[in-house]
Amino acid sequence: MKHHFSVAVGPTGFRIGAAWRAPIAALEQLYAAYPKPEEGLADFTVRLEPQTRLRLWLRPSVAINGDFMLPDALPLPLAQGVLAAEMGMNLQMAMGQRHFLLLHASSVERDGKALILTGESGSGKSTLSALLGERGWRFMGDEFALIDPVSGLAYPFPRPISLKNEAIAVMTDALPADRFGPLLPGTPKGDIRHMIPAFSAIAAMSVPARPALILFPRFGYAADVRDMGGSEVFVRLTQASTNYVALGERGFDALSNLVTQVPARAIDYPDTENAVALVEKLWAEYT
Amino acid sequence: MAQSPENKDITAPTRRHLLQLGALGATAVVTVRPALAQTAGSILKCEIPVPDPARSAQYIAADGRLVAPGTPGAFAGAYRPFKGEDVKRALAGGTLPGTSATQSQAYVNYIRRLQAGQSGFTCYASLQMPR
Amino acid sequence: MRRDVEALYAADPRTGFRICPLDSLTAYYHRRSGVTHVVADPVPQILTALHGTPLSLEALLAHLVAADGLIITEDSKAALAERLEELCTIGLVLRI
């Protein structure tokens, strides 16, 4: 590839190659504070390529390729190249990561203990982790929580936070401009703007934490807390995991331990301030 | 209910509750399937309702916005959700099954406007994203 | 009563599972297939009963009554046959 960029996020090294300079320059800016992969070795490769040679110049669009590919994934406009790289990195993690049980979840740490927030797209888990990361918690990741099947510890994957739509203003109002990437309007997920995690969170990207509370947030409802049976938690976490089935018995053991040892609650919240208050209340109650 | 040492000699079954077999035709097993489709093929099996079931009475205008039922030029919602595969074809310029060209365009515009949290959004997003 | 042709049922050997009781449901990881099943009562009781000792439908029913306090109704035999069929289909129980 003509242009490339390597970066370590948590325990994983990525190498991103691109046919254009622009997405690489954007990545360099976004990931300026991140280390390079150890000994220069990347676990995963992502390639941003034109779908056809003509698309290199003419209304350039980015197809995402790599070790794992979705053959039918629609290409993105070149201006959304960073998003394409992020999607490619997510896909490599989701399909290829075999060392950890991967949960689609955001996570934050305090006093060595991890809070895991998991829910569907739109549950607000990403915004919530970004906000908590600025209020006394260590941001561990907004996309994947990595559970080590041997120790049961949660490892960080603190890539830049992908803020969507209304969540963008919540954070840009609170933080200086140099914490943000450019606004990407009109992506398949709406407007997206990346937020760079606190420097201390990036610096501690290889420090794990013991899971202490799992929350299933739901945005847009009156504040409420609901108990969950172990079976509901178990099944929902299998669905939140991208590689539970692929990990086989190791996955089962990791998940059983998580479900039987860590309290879990479903929470509803009308706005982020309510959510933060609920999180603090439950954290005091259960840890 | 935990038993105290005093009522050890109780003769009733010592199980927590009496066992029942469940109704005929009911199932007692849920099998865990992979959450992330391992191939694009299975990703395309997801569905998008038009509109969201919570707003099924509303019509869909040509630009995809939801409008009051009976609005001229707008279309009633689709009877059945569309398959991811059909939507993908329509996004690439095709027509949704069982719809006219303008109706299909209105529905596709509705789908393009889907936001996080609305029914079908995850499916729409997964058509272009690995999640 | 038992006819010679009557089928016997056996659980896949106990070592073939990892078991995690959750609440009223129990998670079973089936090593041979690599598949996880979340099951309701009376499946754990059936698998325990059929572990090591193959039983006929009648004998299993009697065992569940004696060991687990199973409540017998007029549908019991048919319902148990259904549960066993379900367990055979996913390979947790073998018909021998």
Q: What is the CA radius of gyration of chain A?
A: 19
Q: What are phi and psi of A80, to 5 degrees?
A: -100, 25
Distance (Å, rounded) from C-alpha A271 to C-alpha A116? 19
Question: A75: nearest CA in chain B?
Answer: B128
Q: Which helix (H) or strand (E) holds A211?
A: strand A210-219
How far apart are alpha carbons B65 and A224 in whole angstroms? 31
pLDDT digits (tens, 9 = 90+) for A136-173: 999 999 999 999 999 999 999 999 999 998 899 999 99
Of A282, A11, A256, which Cα lies nearest the Cα of A154? A11
Give the torsion sign (CA, C16, C22, C26, C27): negative
Q: What's the mean per-residue pLDDT of chain A?
A: 90
Amino acid C61 reads: L
pLDDT of residue B28: 82
pLDDT in tens, C67-83: 999 988 888 999 999 99
Closest C-alpha to A44, from A105, A88, A99, A104: A88
- Report pLDDT for C23: 87
The minimal CB distance from C22 to the residues A230, A249, A252 is found for A230
Instruction: Report yes or no: A145 and A116 within 8 Å, Cβ to Cβ.
Output: yes
B27: contact with C, CB 8 A cutoff: yes
At B42-101, the pLDDT tens digits run 444 567 889 877 678 899 999 999 999 999 999 999 988 888 778 888 888 889 999 999
Closest listed residue to residue C65, CA positions, set C81, C84, C46: C46
pLDDT at B107 over 90: yes
Structure confidence at residue B104 (pLDDT): 95
CB within 8 Å: A252 and C29: yes
Contacts of A44 (CB under 8 A, 6+ apart): A12, A13, A14, A15, A66, A67, A89, A92, A93, A96
What pLDDT does B128 receive? 57
| C-alpha span between A239 and A252 (Å, rounded) | 13
In whole angstroms, what is the distance from residue A245 CA to residue A242 CA? 8
Distance, C-alpha B91 to centroid of its chain: 20
Residue that is written with structure tokens 């572990």 in the block = C51
Determine whether the interchain pair C35/B31 forms a contact, defined as Cβ–Cβ distance below 8 Å. yes
pLDDT in tens, A81-122: 898 898 888 887 887 788 899 999 999 999 999 999 998 777
Chain C partners of B12 at a C-beta cutoff of 8 Å? 69
Tell me the three state secondary structure of residue C15.
helix
Residue C4 clears pLDDT 80, i.e. is over it: no
Name the pTM for this structure. 0.76
- In the predicted structure, residue A131 carries a pLDDT above the cut 70: yes
Residue B45 pLDDT: 54
Surface of C (9-28) touching A: CB under 8 A: 18, 20-25, 27
**Would the CB atoms of B29 and C76 count as touching at under 8 Å?**
no
B10 pLDDT exceeds 70? Answer: no
Q: What is the pLDDT of residue B12?
A: 37
Residue C84 clears pLDDT 90, i.e. is over it: yes
pLDDT score at B39 = 36
The distance of C88 to chain A (nearest Cα, Å) reads: 21
Write down the pLDDT at residue B126: 62
Name the pLDDT band for B117 (thresholds 50, 70, 90): very low
Q: Report whether pLDDT(B21) > 70.
A: yes
Instruction: Please confirm whether the linkage preceding B51 is cis (ω < 30° from 0).
Output: yes
Contact B40 A164 (CB under 8 A): no
Distance CA A32, CA A13 (A): 15
ipTM above 0.85, yes or no: yes
- Name which of B10, B29, B38 to mutate to probe chain C: the one with the most chain C Cβ atoms within 10 A of its Cβ: B29
Which of A61, A74, A232, A247 should one mutate to test binding to chain B, selecting the residue with the greatest count of B CBs within 10 A?
A74
Tokens 């301030």, residue?
Answer: A273
* Contact residues for A22 (Cβ-Cβ < 8 A; gap 6+): A78, A81
pLDDT for the residue numbered A184: 92
What per-residue confidence (pLDDT) applies to B42?
41
Residue A47: pLDDT band with limits 50, 70, 90: confident
Phi, psi values for residue C48, rounded to 5°:
-65, -45
Q: Using the beta-carbon criterion (under 8 Å), do B35 and A220 form an inter-chain contact?
A: no
Does the beta carbon of B20 lie under 8 angstroms from any beta carbon of chain C? yes
Helices (H) and strands (E) in chain C, counts: 3, 5
Give the whole-number percent of chain A exceeding pLDDT 70.
Answer: 96
When the pLDDT of each residue in chain B is averaged and rounded to a whole number, the result is: 72
Alpha helices for C1-96 (secondary structure H): 43-49, 57-68, 76-89
Residue B87 contacts A, CB cutoff 8 Å: no
Least CB–CB distance from B28: residue in C35, C36, C83: C83
Q: Residue C52: which pLDDT band, with cuts at 50, 70 and 90?
A: confident
pLDDT tens figures, A212-222 = 999 999 988 89
Query: Comparing C-alpha atoms, which of C78, A190, A68, A174 is closest to residue B37?
Result: A68
Separation between Cα atoms, residue A115 and residue A106, nearest integer Å: 8
Q: pLDDT: is B122 or B23 the higher one?
A: B23
Neighbour-count burial for B91-104, b at 16+ CB within 10 Å, e otherwise? beeebbeebeeebb
Q: What residue ranges in A55-100 does DSSP mark as E strands? A: 61-66, 76-77
SS3 B95: coil
